[in-house]
């Protein structure tokens, strides 16, 4: 990790060499029939996918990319007057010192008049996390600042029991591989039920993401899940808040 260039990018607001913007996808609280949050998802200026942009991220521009995504997410959340929490993805390998790297986000929230208490920082798994201690230190620093924290893709990669043993986030997102076809798969049902029981005892809320069928939704609701995200409800809105379909 080139820490000097990383700190410089955060400190000096180094600009990214390619343009980005944001799409927003809702996370619904079906128990309350309301929007819990919108996740800010990076897109190219003309709608290019997140994957095509991430393919252009390397050691030289990783810090600038991460900072640009944070700032753009806050800017568009304010512009669209997002009426709920906003989940902002961050790349742990793009953070050298959390207290310093958070500065651009704080300044963007002030500049666009977006309430800090409505920001969730969500760890992405776009690249392998090599230092779990570093990740947990980042999450603790963000919690100390008053932000909610979320772990994406729980059950895959670094996002497992070892991480939870050291840090308990406010939210976890179940990995989509556990969700897909869960209504027809007793093994997946057992694994998810065990995860939900553990999270209740740890006071962690669970989001089921990637919901595509009413069968998946019904199975998870029966298990006690309340927070959902997926194409069944809404596809991401490009520079917009999408129309939402509440199935019940």
pLDDT at residue 156 in the model: 65
Q: Which domains does the chain have, with CATH numbers?
A: 3-238 (3.20.20.450)
- State both tokens at 104: 């651009």
Q: Give how far the C-alpha of residue 188 lies from the chain's centroid of Cα atoms, to the nearest Å.
A: 23
CA dihedral of 192, 39, 129, 136, whole degrees rounded to 10: -80
pLDDT at residue 3 in the model: 42
What single-letter DSSP state applies at residue 212? -
For residue 119, give the nearest of 58, 47, 70 by alpha carbon: 70
Q: How far is CA 71 from CA 5, 31, 64, 137, in A?
A: 19, 32, 11, 22
In whole angstroms, give the CA distance from residue 246 to residue 46. 29
Strands 85-90 and 237-238: unpaired
pLDDT tens digits for 103-127? 888 999 999 999 999 999 998 755 5
Residue that has been written with the tokens 């810090």 in this structure: 63
CA dihedral of 88, 92, 94, 99, whole degrees rounded to 10: 80
pLDDT at residue 129 in the model: 64
pLDDT tens digits for 154-202? 866 555 787 888 889 999 999 888 899 999 999 999 999 999 999 999 9
CB-based contact 142:121 (threshold 8 Å):
yes
Predicted TM-score (pTM) of the model is 0.90
The residues that bridge with 37 in the sheet, in sequence order, are 27, 85
Q: Is the per-residue pLDDT at 94 higher than 90?
A: no
């Amino acid at each position: 990790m080139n820490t000097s260039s990383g700190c410089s990018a955060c400190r000096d607001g180094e600009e990214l060499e390619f343009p980005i913007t944001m799409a927003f996808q809702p996370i619904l609280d079906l128990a309350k029939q309301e929007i819990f949050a919108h996740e800010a998802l990076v897109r190219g200026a003309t709608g290019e996918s997140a994957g095509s942009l991430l393919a252009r991220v390397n050691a030289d521009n990783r810090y600038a990319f991460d900072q640009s995504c944070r700032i753009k997410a806050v800017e568009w959340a304010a512009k669209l007057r997002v009426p709920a929490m906003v989940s902002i993805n961050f790349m742990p390998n793009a953070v050298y010192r959390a207290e310093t790297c958070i500065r651009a986000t704080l300044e963007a929230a002030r500049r666009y008049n977006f309430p800090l208490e409505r920001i969730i920082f969500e760890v992405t798994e776009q690249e392998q996390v090599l230092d779990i201690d570093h990740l947990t230190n980042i999450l603790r620093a963000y919690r100390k600042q008053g932000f909610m924290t979320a772990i994406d893709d729980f059950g895959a990669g670094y996002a497992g029991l070892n991480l939870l043993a050291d840090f308990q986030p406010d939210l976890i997102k179940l990995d989509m591989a556990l969700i897909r076809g869960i209504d027809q798969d007793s093994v997946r049902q057992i694994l998810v039920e065990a995860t939900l029981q553990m999270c209740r005892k740890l006071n962690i809320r669970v989001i089921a993401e990637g919901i595509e069928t009413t069968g998946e939704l019904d199975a998870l609701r029966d298990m006690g899940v309340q927070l959902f995200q997926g194409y069944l409800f809404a596809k991401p809105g490009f520079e917009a808040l999408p129309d939402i379909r509440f199935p019940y």
